[in-house]
Chain A
Amino acid sequence: MPLKNKEVSLLLEKSRLLSQSSMNDFIRNLSASYEVYAPIKKGKQIVFEKVENPGEIVWDYETTQISPKKFLHKPFEKLFSFEDGGKIISENEEIAEKKQILLGLHPCDVRAVEILDKVFSKRYEDPYYLKRRKNSIIIALTCNDAHETCYCTSFSTGPRIDRGYDILITPLVDNFLVEIGSPRGEEILNQYGEALSTDSSILMEYHRLKNAKLEVIENKIKNKMNTENLPELLEQNVNHPLWDNLKEECLACGSCTIVCPTCYCFTIVDKVDLTLKSGQRQRVWDSCMLLEFAEVALGVNFRRERAARIKQRIYHKLYSFEHQFYIRGCVGCGRCIRYCIKKIDPREIIAEIRREPIEQQS
């Protein structure tokens, strides 16, 4: 795509080229002031964990099972502790002091954070999430490849990304093209990263390489979700026979929601210690796919049927999210497909409804 001169100079102004060794130095320097989390190899998996040594970072990873949202919306977190007599000690102060860098997020995961930002601030401000978010710097990473389960292009959440990051890194040849996305990103890059080159013709060449790479990735994503008039389509197909068929296959194990980067549901538990008087209030990830999720007092459950829970997951992501948060709840990362034992695929669900929508059946 041809850029105007002004756009080119702006792009180059925000770009740096770092060598492998200066990238390592950059990350090492950051580790002195921040907790740095990045994709590293752990057994047979790539997981986001604290980086001890920049050499551990896997730059060409496919995806992680649990998304980096775990550093913002924690799977388990203590909200406060309570003592005999009613004294409450909040955790907020501790959260406020911990500064972290989330490094190596693919565009889909960056855009998932954008969704969570809306979830945790739109109607109710969640102090725990928002404090962590404020203290987090996001260093995005351009994808190395596209995989069978990737469908980010359906939601324009990747592989190109133009917002949501403080810094964007693209490994190219033996070097790293680094782009600044925010004043905070610029500040840490200037402070901790030594540029190999700021020469505009060299930078321009690297941008061309990046663009070529992105085109290859985009073209590789063939299995997309057709999102045209999606809310209307779903509205008309609440009673589609497909939902009942899915319940025969779905294990209702909840894995799809646990691995989803935009799922945010949680439950609150009071953990009383063995004095029976003091303890802590905890927040724990929960899932709409689980039977207990919609259980209320006296054992009443308004989503007892498995089909109703499957429908809830799909409808929330692709339909009601827009009404709630003015954004779609899916970024097409493909984790729910990749980690489903039964290979239940939202792309297939939508395609099947489109093949035989309810209105044409009668």
Chain B
Amino acid sequence: MKKPSVGVFKFTSDGGCQLQILNMERELFDLLNLINITYFPMAGVDSGEGPFDIGFVEGAVTSTDEIIRIKEIREKCRILVALGACACYGGIASIKNQKTQRELEEKVYTDLTAVHSTKAFGIDQYVKVDAYVRGCPIDKNEFIEVVKSTLLQIKPNLRPHSVCVECKLRENPCIFLIEGEVCMGPVTSAGCGALCPSRHRACEGCRGPASDPNTPSLARTMLEYGLTPEEVRLKFIKYAGETQAFKEGAGIK
């Protein structure tokens, strides 16, 4: 069997998800037995412009140039995977969507003639996406699961329920009930193994909405815990403010 060709592409992001791929020291050689990475500039691989069997895209789309480029990449990839919070739903960069582009551009740049920024969106705002690997950064096991499932042509076993399930299984003290702080875990998709609450830190919601997120109810509880409506809003817009569920939690229509 010919090894499928794989491309890894970067958009507006900090490169953390690509780094997670490179961090897989234990699995990387076995993975390379299965796939042929032909385009991955961060790893120093640039042997061709495709087409690709699988394309992994990291980063949000935040400029007209990027809109054109993501459409070109979609044409070249048989299967397109959004890698990480930015590519899935805009990520940290999407916080800027709360203000107008002009306001932000003026704060950052002195010469605006060549700046053509757009609101930050996940790549599915512009192209069809076949699979999502969530998180900031991605979880390596989920990445491997998606690669394996793609090769076997089966549905990946990703569990989109709340982080609470994984948190309870790890027997962590509940951030809400024991630590007395607010947490995004009840409405955030699992798969990280409750990484932050296992270190006594509240879930920040980096994996986006869980499968049936009751965000208005959680927002009400956050108010009861003493947060102001503005603080609740900031919780919900941090990583996935463009998703319908988190918009509802933030009270943004």
A251 to B217 alpha-carbon distance, docked (Å): 7
> Across the interface, do B212 and A306 meet the contact criterion of CB distance under 8 Å?
yes
Please tell me which one of the listed residues A250, A251, A275, A339 contacts residue B168 in the complex, with CB atoms under 8 A apart.
A339
User: Hey, which chain A residues are within 8 Å of B172, CB to CB?
Assistant: 45
User: If A258-B168, A274-B30 touch, does A253 touch B159 (CB 8 Å cutoff)?
Assistant: no
Residues of A within 8 A of B221 (CB): 341-342
Interface residues of A in 232-252 (CB under 8 A from B): 247-252
B40 within 8 A of A: no
Question: A80 on the interface (CB 8 Å rule)?
Answer: no
The answer to whether B177 and A341 touch across the interface, beta carbons within 8 angstroms, is yes
B90 touches A (CB below 8 Å)? no
Instruction: Please state if A339 and B177 are interface contacts (CB–CB under 8 Å).
Output: yes
| Contact residues in B for A252 (Cβ distance below 8 Å) | 162, 212-214
Contact A269 B168 (CB under 8 A): no
A244-282 contacts to B, CB under 8 A, are 247-255, 258-259, 269, 271-272, 274-276
**Number of A residues contacting the other chain (C-beta, 8 Å)?**
35
Q: Check A341–B165 contact: CB distance below 8 A.
A: no
B214 touches A42 (CB 8 A): no
Distance in Å from the Cβ of A293 to the closest Cβ of chain B?
A: 9
Indicate if B169 sits at the interface (CB-CB under 8 A).
Answer: yes
- Decide if A250 touches B214 in the complex (CB within 8 Å): yes
Q: Does B33 contact A (CB under 8 A)?
A: yes
Q: List 25 A-B contacts (CB under 8 A).
A: A44-B173, A66-B171, A248-B214, A248-B216, A249-B217, A250-B217, A251-B164, A251-B186, A253-B164, A255-B164, A258-B165, A274-B27, A274-B144, A276-B152, A285-B169, A287-B161, A290-B161, A290-B211, A290-B212, A306-B212, A338-B177, A339-B174, A339-B177, A341-B174, A341-B186
Seen from chain B, the residues whose Cβ lies within 8 Å of a Cβ on chain A are 27, 30-31, 33-34, 144, 148, 151-152, 157, 159-162, 164-165, 168-169, 171-174, 176-179, 185-187, 210-214, 216-218, 221
